[in-house]
Amino acid sequence: MVFDGNIRLIMVSTYFRKSKRFKMKKISVFLLFALSYLTIQAQHSKPSFSFAKETHDFGTLKEEDGNVSYKFEFTNIGGQPMVIHNVIASCGCTTPDWTRMPIPPGGKGYVSVAYNPKNRPGPFNKTITVSSNAEQSSKVLRITGKVTPKPLTIEELYPREIDGLRLKAGHLSFTRVTPGSLKTEELEVYNGSDENLSVAFKNVPVHITLKLEPSVIKTKEKGKIIATFDASKISDWGFVNTSIYLLVNNKSAIKKELNYNKRIVISATIEEDFSGLTAEELAKAPIADFDTRIFEFGTIKQDEEVKKSFVLTNKGKSNLIIRKVRAQCGCTAVTPQKSLLSPGESTEILTVFDSRGKSGRQNKSITIITNDPKNSTVLLRISGNVEVK
């Protein structure tokens, strides 16, 4: 009987322990589900955006029509009030606005964007970044479209005006001209006055010829100035320019003919054409080699002079010809010792920087033009600081 009682006691104890473990398991599972539920509920309680659309295409816009705008509308589908902290556009051409007050759960708000197409022809694709206290703290919206340029006015097409004659530009460039060659360029003009116009050209150098075509331009009609550059008539190298003065219908008195406001500038860069040289000719060509191309003189007092000699050596196999040495301004004097160097020969190019009237950081250049086919134009630089006494 004692044995039987012990068995019963053991069985009751075992049942109790198993029941207790089962209940603990049930409590643990319950707590796990409860924690998950509370986490999900907490997440859903945060503010959350729900935009009707996140990209808007304006389609094709006309530049002359001015600003366009679009309002991105959204709903706060979260469980807490939403606050938009800031809205930043990807460029200054878009001007954003937005709902400034807190948006309650279920409430609606907006982000409005205005786009200015002025001076922005062509396609555009801009982003707008919305920062808030939402679950997704940063939201990107987008606007796209294409801007067709506005028709240009006569004043925009021909911005330069001289006594009723309107010009497309005040500068006519021949760009690159080879020695001895002949090159022609044109400049379009328009008669914006109420009378027919003819033009006389003053201060024209011998290497340039000019004519107006037609010789008389009728009112509100187009014409052109035809310019010819004859490089065989000019003994110069590198960049050259000259001012030509226009006398329209003899309106200006003789003493006013050379009026700064009634001129055009004609320029060209005279350079040799080495493109036709063979590999054998290039191997035998001169080579312009400088010991240095940059000189930093440090700091000097105003009115002091700085001198520097750049050494040029011909490391090629034929004579090196120094075509031209030109300083950036009159404050830098340049004196080459020789203009022709045999193979292996060197020379000094003395530069003098005069700091009179100068102050602060100074950067001056000297242009050296030679017959080196691989490096015909070289810039030497002098720089430093000038202190006022």
Q: Which two tokens stand for residue 182?
A: 């002949």
Do residues 79 and 186 both lie within one domain?
Answer: no
Question: Does an H or E element contain 272, and which?
Answer: none
Give 240's strand partners.
Answer: 268
- Which CATH number belongs to the domain containing residue 266 in this structure? 2.60.40.10
Q: Same structural domain for residues 200 and 250?
A: yes
pLDDT at 310: 95
- 29: in domain: no
333 and 255 housed in the same domain: no
Residue 205 domain boundaries: 154-270
Bridge partners (DSSP) of residue 268 are: 240
Residue finishing a domain among 148, 170, 194: 148
Q: Are residues 287 and 248 in the same domain?
A: no
Closest C-alpha to 272, from 205, 181, 379: 181
Q: What are phi and psi of 347, to 5 degrees?
A: -150, 160
Mean pLDDT, range 52-74, rounded to an integer: 94
One domain for residues 182 and 234: yes
**CA dist., res. 238 & res. 369, Å (int):** 7
Claim to verify: residue 296 and residue 234 sit in the same structural domain? no
Contact 126, 94 (CB under 8 A): yes
Looking at residue 6, its pLDDT comes to 46
| Per-residue pLDDT tens digits for 188-236 | 999 999 999 999 999 999 999 999 999 999 999 999 999 999 999 999 9
Q: Are residues 366 and 290 in the same domain?
A: yes
| Cβ partners under 8 Å of residue 162, min gap 6 | 246, 248, 261, 262
- Domain contains 127: yes
Residues 209 and 180 placed together within one structural domain of the fold = yes
Q: Which of 183-197, 256-270, 347-361, 370-384 has the lowest mean pLDDT?
A: 256-270
Q: Return the pLDDT at 258.
A: 64
Pair 289, 200 in one domain: no
Say if residue 293 is in the same domain as residue 334: yes
Boundary (domain end) residue, out of 270, 303, 338: 270
- Could you tell me if 84 and 175 lie in one domain? no
pLDDT, tens only, 121-138: 999 999 999 999 998 899
Q: Is there a domain that residue 163 lies in?
A: yes
Task: Name the domain boundary from 270, 298, 333.
Answer: 270
Model confidence at 333, pLDDT cuts 50, 70, 90, reads: confident
CA-CA-CA-CA torsion sign (10, 15, 16, 22)? positive
pTM of the model: 0.66
Q: What is the pLDDT of residue 248?
A: 94
Question: Is there a domain that residue 173 lies in?
Answer: yes
Does the pLDDT of residue 33 top 60, yes or no? Answer: no
What pLDDT does residue 16 have? Answer: 42
- Lowest mean pLDDT across 40-49, 166-175, 206-215, 235-244: 40-49
How much is the pLDDT for 337? 87
The whole-chain average pLDDT of the chain stands at 88
